[in-house]
Structure 1
Protein backbone atom coordinates (compact mmCIF):
# COMPACT_ATOMS: atom_id res chain seq x y z
CA UNK A 1 0.00 0.00 0.00
CA UNK A 2 1.93 2.97 -1.35
CA UNK A 3 -0.56 4.98 -3.46
CA UNK A 4 -4.07 5.10 -2.01
CA UNK A 5 -7.20 6.75 -3.40
CA UNK A 6 -10.10 7.27 -0.96
CA UNK A 7 -13.53 7.81 -2.52
CA UNK A 8 -17.17 7.95 -1.44
CA UNK A 9 -20.15 10.23 -1.07
CA UNK A 10 -20.10 13.37 1.04
CA UNK A 11 -20.19 12.74 4.77
CA UNK A 12 -18.95 9.14 4.42
CA UNK A 13 -15.83 9.83 6.48
CA UNK A 14 -13.24 9.95 3.70
CA UNK A 15 -11.06 12.58 5.38
CA UNK A 16 -11.20 10.88 8.78
CA UNK A 17 -10.29 7.52 7.25
CA UNK A 18 -7.52 9.07 5.14
CA UNK A 19 -6.07 10.78 8.21
CA UNK A 20 -6.08 7.53 10.13
CA UNK A 21 -4.48 5.73 7.17
CA UNK A 22 -1.78 8.39 6.96
CA UNK A 23 -1.07 8.09 10.69
CA UNK A 24 -0.89 4.28 10.47
CA UNK A 25 1.23 4.06 7.31
CA UNK A 26 3.28 7.27 7.26
CA UNK A 27 2.05 8.00 3.74
CA UNK A 28 1.70 11.70 2.88
CA UNK A 29 -1.92 12.82 2.69
CA UNK A 30 -3.47 15.26 0.22
CA UNK A 31 -7.06 16.35 0.81
CA UNK A 32 -8.32 17.02 -2.71
CA UNK A 33 -11.01 19.50 -1.62
CA UNK A 34 -8.22 21.90 -0.62
CA UNK A 35 -6.65 21.65 -4.09
CA UNK A 36 -9.81 21.50 -6.22
CA UNK A 37 -11.95 24.41 -5.01
CA UNK A 38 -10.83 28.02 -5.33
CA UNK A 39 -11.43 30.48 -2.44
CA UNK A 40 -14.85 31.37 -3.92
CA UNK A 41 -15.81 27.65 -4.05
CA UNK A 42 -15.58 27.46 -7.82
CA UNK A 43 -14.41 24.07 -9.11
CA UNK A 44 -11.20 23.69 -11.09
CA UNK A 45 -11.84 23.32 -14.84
CA UNK A 46 -11.71 19.61 -15.87
CA UNK A 47 -8.54 19.91 -17.96
CA UNK A 48 -6.71 21.84 -15.26
CA UNK A 49 -7.95 19.39 -12.62
CA UNK A 50 -6.60 16.43 -14.59
CA UNK A 51 -3.17 18.13 -14.83
CA UNK A 52 -3.13 18.89 -11.08
CA UNK A 53 -3.98 15.28 -10.29
CA UNK A 54 -1.23 13.95 -12.54
CA UNK A 55 1.22 16.16 -10.65
CA UNK A 56 -0.09 14.97 -7.28
CA UNK A 57 -0.08 11.31 -8.35
CA UNK A 58 3.45 11.47 -9.81
CA UNK A 59 4.98 10.82 -6.40
CA UNK A 60 5.97 7.37 -5.22
CA UNK A 61 3.86 7.36 -2.03
CA UNK A 62 0.62 9.15 -1.17
CA UNK A 63 -2.98 9.12 -0.06
CA UNK A 64 -5.34 11.20 -2.22
CA UNK A 65 -8.56 11.80 -0.32
CA UNK A 66 -11.65 13.05 -2.05
CA UNK A 67 -14.60 12.43 -4.30
CA UNK A 68 -15.68 15.58 -6.07
CA UNK A 69 -18.88 14.16 -7.45
CA UNK A 70 -20.02 15.47 -10.84
CA UNK A 71 -16.96 17.75 -11.02
CA UNK A 72 -14.45 14.95 -10.63
CA UNK A 73 -12.11 13.39 -13.18
CA UNK A 74 -10.69 10.49 -11.13
CA UNK A 75 -8.78 8.71 -13.90
CA UNK A 76 -5.36 10.38 -13.39
CA UNK A 77 -5.19 9.35 -9.74
CA UNK A 78 -6.77 5.93 -10.29
CA UNK A 79 -4.20 5.07 -12.96
CA UNK A 80 -1.41 5.40 -10.38
CA UNK A 81 -3.22 3.87 -7.41
CA UNK A 82 -2.28 0.51 -5.98
CA UNK A 83 -5.11 0.67 -3.43
CA UNK A 84 -8.61 2.15 -3.75
CA UNK A 85 -10.94 2.52 -0.78
CA UNK A 86 -14.59 3.29 -1.50
CA UNK A 87 -16.73 4.32 1.46
CA UNK A 88 -20.28 3.23 0.64
CA UNK A 89 -22.08 4.07 3.87
CA UNK A 90 -25.82 4.72 3.94
CA UNK A 91 -27.26 8.01 2.77
CA UNK A 92 -28.75 8.57 6.23
CA UNK A 93 -25.38 8.25 8.00
CA UNK A 94 -23.69 10.49 5.44
CA UNK A 95 -26.45 13.11 5.57
CA UNK A 96 -26.30 13.25 9.36
CA UNK A 97 -22.52 13.66 9.35
CA UNK A 98 -22.63 16.30 6.60
CA UNK A 99 -25.40 18.23 8.36
CA UNK A 100 -23.43 18.28 11.63
CA UNK A 101 -20.20 19.24 9.87
CA UNK A 102 -21.16 22.32 7.88
CA UNK A 103 -23.61 24.12 5.68
CA UNK A 104 -23.66 22.79 2.14
CA UNK A 105 -25.09 23.94 -1.16
CA UNK A 106 -28.14 22.29 -2.71
CA UNK A 107 -25.99 20.53 -5.32
CA UNK A 108 -24.08 18.76 -2.57
CA UNK A 109 -27.28 17.38 -1.05
CA UNK A 110 -28.50 16.17 -4.46
CA UNK A 111 -25.17 14.41 -5.04
CA UNK A 112 -25.30 12.85 -1.56
CA UNK A 113 -28.88 11.64 -2.03
CA UNK A 114 -28.31 10.18 -5.51
CA UNK A 115 -24.72 8.95 -5.13
CA UNK A 116 -25.46 5.24 -4.83
CA UNK A 117 -27.41 4.93 -8.09
CA UNK A 118 -25.91 7.79 -10.13
CA UNK A 119 -22.29 8.35 -9.11
CA UNK A 120 -21.27 4.98 -7.67
CA UNK A 121 -21.80 2.91 -10.85
CA UNK A 122 -19.68 5.34 -12.90
CA UNK A 123 -17.06 5.43 -10.17
CA UNK A 124 -16.83 1.65 -9.97
CA UNK A 125 -16.55 1.47 -13.78
CA UNK A 126 -13.73 4.04 -13.66
CA UNK A 127 -11.94 1.96 -11.03
CA UNK A 128 -12.28 -1.21 -13.14
CA UNK A 129 -11.01 0.61 -16.22
CA UNK A 130 -8.29 2.85 -14.76
CA UNK A 131 -7.07 0.77 -11.81
CA UNK A 132 -7.53 -2.85 -12.87
CA UNK A 133 -4.59 -4.09 -10.79
CA UNK A 134 -5.35 -2.04 -7.66
CA UNK A 135 -6.57 -3.66 -4.49
CA UNK A 136 -10.14 -2.34 -4.06
CA UNK A 137 -11.90 -2.17 -0.70
CA UNK A 138 -15.60 -1.24 -0.62
CA UNK A 139 -16.52 -0.48 2.98
CA UNK A 140 -20.24 -0.29 3.75
CA UNK A 141 -20.31 0.30 7.51
CA UNK A 142 -18.38 1.84 10.37
CA UNK A 143 -17.53 -1.67 11.51
CA UNK A 144 -16.06 -2.46 8.09
CA UNK A 145 -13.94 0.70 8.27
CA UNK A 146 -12.62 -0.30 11.70
CA UNK A 147 -11.90 -3.85 10.50
CA UNK A 148 -9.99 -2.47 7.49
CA UNK A 149 -7.90 -0.19 9.71
CA UNK A 150 -7.21 -3.05 12.12
CA UNK A 151 -5.54 -4.98 9.28
CA UNK A 152 -2.84 -2.32 8.86
Structure 2
Protein backbone atom coordinates (compact mmCIF):
# COMPACT_ATOMS: atom_id res chain seq x y z
CA UNK A 1 0.00 0.00 0.00
CA UNK A 2 1.97 2.93 -1.33
CA UNK A 3 -0.51 4.52 -3.73
CA UNK A 4 -3.92 4.67 -2.11
CA UNK A 5 -7.11 6.12 -3.54
CA UNK A 6 -10.01 6.81 -1.17
CA UNK A 7 -13.52 7.36 -2.53
CA UNK A 8 -17.04 7.53 -1.16
CA UNK A 9 -20.05 9.76 -0.71
CA UNK A 10 -19.86 13.20 0.80
CA UNK A 11 -19.92 12.76 4.56
CA UNK A 12 -18.50 9.23 4.41
CA UNK A 13 -15.34 10.32 6.21
CA UNK A 14 -12.84 10.19 3.34
CA UNK A 15 -10.72 13.11 4.50
CA UNK A 16 -10.65 12.12 8.16
CA UNK A 17 -9.78 8.53 7.31
CA UNK A 18 -7.14 9.49 4.75
CA UNK A 19 -5.48 11.83 7.25
CA UNK A 20 -5.34 9.10 9.90
CA UNK A 21 -4.15 6.51 7.38
CA UNK A 22 -1.44 8.90 6.20
CA UNK A 23 -0.20 9.33 9.76
CA UNK A 24 -0.08 5.57 10.35
CA UNK A 25 1.61 4.73 7.04
CA UNK A 26 3.72 7.91 6.88
CA UNK A 27 2.43 8.74 3.39
CA UNK A 28 1.61 12.17 1.96
CA UNK A 29 -2.13 12.92 1.80
CA UNK A 30 -3.81 14.96 -0.92
CA UNK A 31 -7.42 16.09 -0.62
CA UNK A 32 -8.99 16.64 -4.04
CA UNK A 33 -11.34 19.27 -2.64
CA UNK A 34 -8.34 21.37 -1.60
CA UNK A 35 -6.84 20.98 -5.08
CA UNK A 36 -10.09 21.59 -6.96
CA UNK A 37 -11.27 24.71 -5.13
CA UNK A 38 -9.10 27.81 -5.11
CA UNK A 39 -9.50 30.68 -2.67
CA UNK A 40 -13.12 31.75 -2.07
CA UNK A 41 -14.68 28.85 -3.99
CA UNK A 42 -13.09 29.56 -7.37
CA UNK A 43 -13.10 26.39 -9.48
CA UNK A 44 -9.94 24.98 -10.98
CA UNK A 45 -10.46 24.10 -14.64
CA UNK A 46 -10.89 20.47 -15.60
CA UNK A 47 -7.73 20.69 -17.70
CA UNK A 48 -5.71 21.94 -14.73
CA UNK A 49 -7.17 19.26 -12.45
CA UNK A 50 -6.28 16.55 -14.94
CA UNK A 51 -2.72 17.88 -15.16
CA UNK A 52 -2.35 18.18 -11.37
CA UNK A 53 -3.56 14.62 -10.81
CA UNK A 54 -1.40 13.19 -13.58
CA UNK A 55 1.60 14.75 -11.85
CA UNK A 56 0.52 13.59 -8.37
CA UNK A 57 0.14 9.95 -9.34
CA UNK A 58 3.72 9.78 -10.68
CA UNK A 59 5.05 10.19 -7.13
CA UNK A 60 6.38 7.10 -5.37
CA UNK A 61 3.69 7.12 -2.70
CA UNK A 62 0.48 8.96 -1.87
CA UNK A 63 -3.00 8.89 -0.47
CA UNK A 64 -5.55 10.81 -2.54
CA UNK A 65 -9.07 11.27 -1.24
CA UNK A 66 -12.04 12.48 -3.21
CA UNK A 67 -14.31 11.48 -6.05
CA UNK A 68 -14.32 13.84 -9.05
CA UNK A 69 -15.45 11.34 -11.66
CA UNK A 70 -13.80 13.15 -14.56
CA UNK A 71 -10.36 12.31 -13.11
CA UNK A 72 -11.17 9.05 -11.34
CA UNK A 73 -9.64 6.83 -14.03
CA UNK A 74 -6.27 8.59 -13.63
CA UNK A 75 -6.19 7.57 -9.98
CA UNK A 76 -7.69 4.11 -10.53
CA UNK A 77 -4.97 3.29 -13.03
CA UNK A 78 -2.12 4.49 -10.82
CA UNK A 79 -3.31 3.28 -7.41
CA UNK A 80 -2.25 -0.05 -5.96
CA UNK A 81 -5.03 0.14 -3.35
CA UNK A 82 -8.54 1.56 -3.69
CA UNK A 83 -10.58 2.12 -0.55
CA UNK A 84 -14.29 2.69 -1.05
CA UNK A 85 -16.03 4.02 2.06
CA UNK A 86 -19.57 2.83 1.43
CA UNK A 87 -21.46 3.98 4.52
CA UNK A 88 -25.26 4.25 4.79
CA UNK A 89 -26.83 7.29 3.15
CA UNK A 90 -28.43 8.56 6.37
CA UNK A 91 -25.09 8.45 8.18
CA UNK A 92 -23.45 10.46 5.39
CA UNK A 93 -26.26 13.03 5.43
CA UNK A 94 -25.98 13.38 9.20
CA UNK A 95 -22.22 13.93 8.96
CA UNK A 96 -22.59 16.53 6.20
CA UNK A 97 -25.05 18.51 8.31
CA UNK A 98 -22.92 18.11 11.44
CA UNK A 99 -19.85 19.28 9.50
CA UNK A 100 -21.73 22.36 8.31
CA UNK A 101 -22.55 23.29 11.90
CA UNK A 102 -19.05 22.47 13.16
CA UNK A 103 -17.30 24.55 10.50
CA UNK A 104 -19.80 27.44 10.27
CA UNK A 105 -17.89 30.44 8.86
CA UNK A 106 -14.68 28.38 8.87
CA UNK A 107 -12.63 26.52 6.30
CA UNK A 108 -12.13 22.81 6.88
CA UNK A 109 -8.51 21.59 6.95
CA UNK A 110 -9.13 19.53 3.79
CA UNK A 111 -10.45 22.47 1.74
CA UNK A 112 -8.84 25.28 -0.20
CA UNK A 113 -8.08 28.55 1.55
CA UNK A 114 -11.09 30.81 2.03
CA UNK A 115 -13.58 28.07 1.20
CA UNK A 116 -15.78 28.37 4.27
CA UNK A 117 -18.08 25.41 4.82
CA UNK A 118 -21.29 25.59 2.81
CA UNK A 119 -24.32 23.41 2.45
CA UNK A 120 -26.75 23.74 -0.41
CA UNK A 121 -29.58 21.72 -1.87
CA UNK A 122 -27.48 20.41 -4.77
CA UNK A 123 -24.88 18.91 -2.44
CA UNK A 124 -27.53 17.35 -0.20
CA UNK A 125 -29.17 15.92 -3.31
CA UNK A 126 -25.82 14.52 -4.48
CA UNK A 127 -25.29 12.79 -1.12
CA UNK A 128 -28.88 11.48 -1.12
CA UNK A 129 -28.69 10.08 -4.66
CA UNK A 130 -25.10 8.80 -4.36
CA UNK A 131 -26.09 5.20 -3.45
CA UNK A 132 -28.37 4.88 -6.46
CA UNK A 133 -26.52 7.01 -9.03
CA UNK A 134 -22.78 7.03 -8.27
CA UNK A 135 -22.29 3.84 -6.25
CA UNK A 136 -23.20 1.41 -9.08
CA UNK A 137 -20.80 3.17 -11.45
CA UNK A 138 -17.98 2.99 -8.91
CA UNK A 139 -18.68 -0.66 -8.10
CA UNK A 140 -18.58 -1.44 -11.83
CA UNK A 141 -15.20 0.26 -12.20
CA UNK A 142 -13.86 -1.57 -9.16
CA UNK A 143 -15.12 -4.91 -10.45
CA UNK A 144 -13.37 -4.33 -13.77
CA UNK A 145 -9.97 -3.87 -12.08
CA UNK A 146 -10.41 -6.24 -9.12
CA UNK A 147 -7.93 -8.81 -10.44
CA UNK A 148 -5.02 -6.36 -10.52
CA UNK A 149 -5.73 -3.99 -7.61
CA UNK A 150 -6.18 -4.29 -3.87
CA UNK A 151 -9.78 -3.14 -3.33
CA UNK A 152 -11.20 -2.63 0.14
CA UNK A 153 -14.84 -1.69 0.73
CA UNK A 154 -15.87 -0.51 4.18
CA UNK A 155 -19.56 -0.57 5.13
CA UNK A 156 -19.29 0.73 8.71
CA UNK A 157 -17.25 3.19 10.75
CA UNK A 158 -16.24 0.27 12.97
CA UNK A 159 -14.63 -1.47 9.98
CA UNK A 160 -12.62 1.68 9.23
CA UNK A 161 -11.41 1.87 12.82
CA UNK A 162 -10.55 -1.83 12.93
CA UNK A 163 -8.54 -1.50 9.72
CA UNK A 164 -6.50 1.37 11.16
CA UNK A 165 -5.90 -0.49 14.42
CA UNK A 166 -4.52 -3.53 12.57
CA UNK A 167 -1.89 -1.51 10.68
TM-score by length of 2: 0.82
**What's the C-alpha RMSD, in Å, of the aligned pairs?**
1.7
Match among 88, 91, 100 for residue 89 of structure 2 = 91
Aligned residue for 1:58? 58
Native 8 Å contact 1:80 1:131 kept in 2: no
Q: Which moved more, 1:124-133 or 1:99-108?
A: 124-133
Aligned residue for 2:18? 18
Q: Distance in 1 between matches of 2:141 and 2:45?
A: 19
* Post-superposition offset of 1:127: 3.0
Aligned residue for 1:148? 163
1:74 aligns to what SS in structure 2?
A: helix
Aligned residue for 1:36? 36
Q: Distance in 2 between matches of 1:131 and 1:49?
A: 26
Question: What does 1:72-111 align with in structure 2 at a 5 Å threshold?
Answer: 72-102=70-100, 103-111=118-126
**1:17-45 superposed Cα distances (whole Å, 9 cap, x missing partner):** 00110010001111110001233434433
Higher gyration radius (CA): 2
1:79 aligns to what SS in structure 2?
A: helix
Q: Gaps spanning 5+ residues in structure 1: where? A: none
**1:52-88 superposed Cα distances (whole Å, 9 cap, x missing partner):** 21111110100001123xx642011111100111111
1:73 aligns to what SS in structure 2?
A: helix
Q: Which moved more, 1:114-123 or 1:48-57?
A: 48-57
Shift in alpha-carbon separation, 1:129–1:43, aligned structure 2, 3 A? farther
**1:79-138 superposed Cα distances (whole Å, 9 cap, x missing partner):** 110011111111111111110112312221111001111001112223344675111111
